Structure 1
Amino acid sequence: MLQIGVVVVSYNPDLNVLRNNLRTLKTHENVDCLIVDNGSQNSHELKKVGIDLQVDVLLLKKNFGIAYAQNRGFEFFKDREVDWVLTLDQDSLIPSNLVDVYTNSVQLSFPDSAILTCSYVDDEWTEIQKRAMMQADKVVQKKYVISSGNLIRVSAWEKVGGFDEFLFIDLVDFDFDAKLFLAGYKIWETNEVILHHSVGKTLNKPIMQKLLLLPEDAILADHSPMRQYYIYRNSIIFEKRYTMISKRRFVVLHTFFATRRVFAYRQKLRKLIAAWRGVIDGALYRAGRDAEFQQKLIKLRH
């Protein structure tokens, strides 16, 4: 039977949601779970959850970001010779048959498969937004997928140098996916199961969307000022890094224009300043001078 490691990254999590997910996962004999906590205020309660449910817990001293936490989780399971690791966010609700669907998927037998994931929805989305995310085929090949719900081949994670800790949080998943693509791996998504996942505080403001010239199925997801910074900085960094995949032009200008979404959120001024700081730092980034990233590119091509 395929042995699966599960890495749940937490930061001030809802312990009830976390317990329910862990209980669902623990019903499978082939699953071992690890919580990697990014310096939560409720870390003592989190440790108790681990003891009660017989789940390993790694407590980090502060918030090092999702990439750092995921890398520590993968190292944990690599040392235990686990071949596949499932990554989960603390605010995702997993269906009871997720592990069974994954382990029975023929895609896992393909040598070039790096990720098997599933469709996801946010319960706060409108029906139009939900339909836009759904696919007709049972299994499709994807280029980019969010990290929660991903069953990842550990050897592929190692091949591409893991998750980029410089990015901290936003676009960490897409950056990882792009490296997999360049290394010749494939990503598969099944719609046999659907993950319920929160992408932030989703706002339903159709009039505001029209005023901001956003399409009807656009998703307005409010985040903290810190997240606004990383969203816009990393969006530019991603496009600069992967010009061989993405052919977008005028990236900085397009990203600056995208910050108009902030006018739909609370604390507009603070978040707009953070978003613009992100745009500036992204504009100053030079992929050619990023020695660590360039080394990873060289490794991917050999």
Structure 2
Amino acid sequence: MRLICAIIISFNPDLNRLREVLSAVSPQVDRVQIVDNGSSEVEGLVALVGLFQSCSLMTLSGNLGVGAALNLGIYTALSAGYDTALLMDQDSIPSPTMVGDLQHGLRWIISQGEHVAAIGPRFFDRHSGKLSRHVVFASWHIRRIDCRSDNQPLPVDFLITSGSLVPLDAFAVIGGFNEELFIDHVDTEWVLRARSKGYRVFGDCTAVMEHDLGEYRRRIWLGRWREVPIHKPFRYYYTFRNSIWLRRRAYAPEDWRRADAVRMVQLFVFMTIFHPHRLLVIKMMWRGLQDGLRGRMGPSADIRARGLTHEKTNS
């Protein structure tokens, strides 16, 4: 039996939503470790954590970014003797059987002799109610693949951080999450680095959770109706900067580079047309491109000084 520590990264969380997360996660794991990334008010968070016997809280002095918070949580779990981590956002709610389903899938994959970096669930979008599909890189786009009962779990090319079950012995080979990325592409970079070291990620077809993509959605017509997630403008700085930086890494495969180039063009077009603060978004994208080329990483001091980083920083 694996000892599982759930690691939840929080930043100014909705306490009611986080209570739902803890109520759903706690019965499925051996321990819950919350790493709070410098929330402005922690009294309510401390009180909430006190309601759950198997939950502990680590408070950071400031927002160190998602990669740093994940690494601290993982090192804490390793030092306490846990061999598996469940990585979670502060507002992703697993189904009652999600962790057990992921464990079953993980055991099966390992029995086949695979080097596993992570296995993750599908998720219901809390806005649209749609169930996601797992993805692979295909030429110039990301292709969504269907689950089949005779082909489960599926090898995939990408997993979001939230909901991922990670055997911690993989970190000795792959290394921790890149803290310089701060927010966006933290999960992408780690998965691509894992692939370059002979590890694979898998999507489970049974495990599901409820997840939130973007601050809100905008429904648009482009050949068909699409729901486009909208973030605050500063997020597009990190998206573009980190894409440019990651494209220049030797371990970034060509199939990802092509698919990401298309995604960046789509983001630019969609956001400059549909984002309510399109001029600021364009400025953030442009600055991100410049800093990515210059190799200026870490949190942007200018963006933080202007108070633009008050959105949650989960991947």
TM-score bracket for the superposition, by shorter chain length: 0.7 to 0.9
Residue of structure 2 in register with 1:295 after alignment: none
1:33 aligned onto 2:32: yes
Amino acid corresponding to residue 50 of structure 1 in structure 2: V
TM-score (norm 1): 0.83
SS where residue 35 of structure 1 aligns? strand
Cα 1:243–1:82 change in 2 (3 A) is closer
- Where do 5+ consecutive residues of structure 1 fail to align? 288-302
Higher normalized contact order (CA 8 Å, seq sep 6+, divided by chain length): 2
Residues 169-225 of structure 1, C-alpha deviations (whole Å, 9 max, x = no match) = 100001000111011112111120222111113423323xx3xxxx74765211122
TM-score (norm 2): 0.80
Residue of structure 1 in register with 2:239 after alignment: 231
Residues 59-103 of structure 1, C-alpha deviations (whole Å, 9 max, x = no match) = 011111100000000000110121110000112111111121122
Cα 1:99–1:45 change in 2 (3 A) is same
Q: Pick from 268, 279, 286 the counterpart of residue 276 of structure 1.
A: 286
Residue of structure 2 in register with 1:67 after alignment: 67
1:252 Cα deviation after fit:
7.5
Partners of 1:147 and 1:114 lie apart in 2 by 12
| 38-47 or 58-67: bigger deviation | 38-47
1:124 Cα deviation after fit:
2.2
What is the total number of aligned residue pairs between the two structures? 280
Residue of structure 2 in register with 1:152 after alignment: 166
1:122 aligned onto 2:132: no
1:135 Cα deviation after fit:
2.0
Whether contact under 8 Å (1:141, 1:186) holds in the other structure is yes
Cα 1:160–1:72 change in 2 (3 A) is same
Residue of structure 2 in register with 1:290 after alignment: none
Partners of 2:13 and 2:228 lie apart in 1 by 22
1:3 Cα deviation after fit:
0.8
Q: Pick from 196, 204, 208 the counterpart of residue 190 of structure 1.
A: 204
SS where residue 282 of structure 1 aligns? helix
Partners of 2:104 and 2:258 lie apart in 1 by 42
- Where do 5+ consecutive residues of structure 2 fail to align? 135-142, 298-315
Partners of 1:156 and 1:147 lie apart in 2 by 15
Partners of 1:25 and 1:270 lie apart in 2 by 38
Cα 1:216–1:164 change in 2 (3 A) is farther
Q: Pick from 151, 154, 157 the counterpart of residue 140 of structure 1.
A: 154
Cα 1:24–1:251 change in 2 (3 A) is closer
Partners of 1:128 and 1:191 lie apart in 2 by 11
Residue of structure 1 in register with 2:175 after alignment: 161
Whether contact under 8 Å (2:10, 2:37) holds in the other structure is yes
Larger helix fraction of residues:
1
